[in-house]
Structure 1
């Protein structure tokens, strides 16, 4: 697989990760499609293993969705900008501090944005709790599943 194809797959995967944050965009499907594209072009055992793992992780995430609270961003009281900042920080945090950084980045960035907006530490934490109840858990679980897939793909590309 050429470098340009790998870059294109990576960009599609990044689009899927951002799509998880946008309501109505099938972010998981885009991430899975990027892994499928890579596996069909690469056709190594590692590529097929990542595709199988990605399929299992994303199907498990779909099975867990009914157990999580539905997304209701309007009920959190936080502006979309704070949620977007949290999502971007989760993506960056996942790769800076593998696995745990996604959660820390999401919650920490929402807290920081809300503290700046509201002006106090207590109000910032109250807003974080409200965001997590209204949208946070479902977004965080879906984003985390997609980040695991993206991390596995990146690891396989680097190691091969």
Structure 2
């Protein structure tokens, strides 16, 4: 697979990661489709192992999401700005503390957004709890699975 094709696969994954944060967008399926596209074009066995791992991770994240309360983020006060802060926080956390840093990064992003909006620490913590109860855990679960898949893909591409 050429460099341009790898860049396109990466771009589709990036769009999928952004799609996780948008209600109704098929973000996780875009990430999976990008891995499928890459696995079909790459003859190495590691590509197929990444595809199998991506499939298992997405199925597990869907099972966990079904067990969590439904997404009612708008009712909980979530805004598109909060989604951006949460997504950037999760991505930075994932990079700074590989894999596990996505969770505190996501929570930190939501807290920072609410702190800037409300101005007080106590109110920001209460808003964070409300947002997470309103469906933030569902978003975090899906985003974490997609970040894991993207990280596995990136590792396989750079390893070769």
* 5+ long unaligned stretches in structure 1: none
Supply the RMSD in Å over aligned alpha carbons.
1.1
Q: Answer whether contact 1:76 1:131 (CA < 8 A) is retained.
A: yes
CA distance in 2, matches of 1:35, 1:47: 8
How many residues matched? 160
CA distance in 2, matches of 1:75, 1:120: 21
* 5+ long unaligned stretches in structure 2: none
Flag as ranges the 4+ runs of structure 1 deviating above 3 A: none
Q: Report the CA distance between 1:64 and its aligned residue.
A: 1.9
TM-score normalised by L of structure 2: 0.96
- CA-to-aligned-CA distance 1:68-103 (integer Å, 9 cap, x gap): 111111221243211221122212321232112211
Q: Report the CA distance between 1:49 and its aligned residue.
A: 0.5
Partner residue in 2 for 1:143 = 143
Partner residue in 2 for 1:159 = 159
**Aligned to 1:77, what secondary structure does the other structure show?**
coil
CA distance in 2, matches of 1:105, 1:134: 18
More helix by share: 1
105-114 vs 69-78, greater mean Cα deviation = 69-78
Q: Are 1:97 and 2:94 matched, yes or no? A: no
